[in-house]
Amino acid sequence: MPAKNKACSETTAPDLCPKVNPYLIRTSMFTSALFAFLHFVAVFGIVGTIFFEWQTMSRTPTVAAAKRLQLCDRWYGASATMLLIVGFLRVFYFEKGSTFYMSNPLFHAKLGLFVLVGLLSIYPTVRFIKWGPQTRQGLAPVVSESEYQRIMTLLRLEVVLLLAAALCASLMARGIGL
């Protein structure tokens, strides 16, 4: 027997109270949970790839290390793209609804931090791409001290900003900022 709609009270005439299909509720809950899972996978992908880049980057990368950094950076881009797509789908089609998110300053802060991380990642990505001709020839890239310092500083900043975004997400999930 279909469950009653929670909006209906016990005093509402049964024929005026719409029925809710429990299958649709379970399907909706599953879909929401699936998108939450995909969101987590994308977040972990971003954090993992940035951390890997931070730990792998050296003043004198080997050919193998340079190729790993290039591949890792592609995974970073794929994870970031997935996070944006899944995140916006969650905002507009699942969870608490777009009004909740759009009216929460912590959501805007989290999104702004994510955009800033993306902007900071441009320089390392461009550098890793420019290593392509060397690594394809089996040569290790030459990294100047200033380039190394700049990349390492940017990777550290990205980690710190991602932690700040995670704090915003935790606070926002508990209704803080409304």
What confidence tens digit (pLDDT) does each residue in 71-100 have? 999 999 999 999 999 998 988 888 777 888
Q: What does the pLDDT read at residue 4? A: 45
DSSP the chain: -PEEPTTS-TTS-GGGS-EE-HHHHHHHHHHHHHHHHHHHHHHHHHHHHHHHHHHH--SS--HHHHHHHHHHHHHHHHHHHHHHHHHHHHHHHSTT-HHHHHT-HHHHHHHHHHHHHHHHTHHHHHHHHHTHHHHHTTPPPP--HHHHHHHHHHHHHHHHHHHHHHHHHHHHHTTTT-
So what's the pLDDT on residue 97? 77
The segments of the chain whose pLDDT lies below 70 read 1-27
Structure confidence at residue 1 (pLDDT)? 42
Q: Please indicate, yes or no, whether the overall pTM of this predicted structure exceeds 0.75.
A: yes
Task: Identify the CA nearest to 141 among candidates 73, 64, 51, 54.
Answer: 64
The per-residue pLDDT for 5 is: 45
Per-residue model confidence (pLDDT) at position 70: 97
d(C-alpha 104, C-alpha 100), whole Å: 6
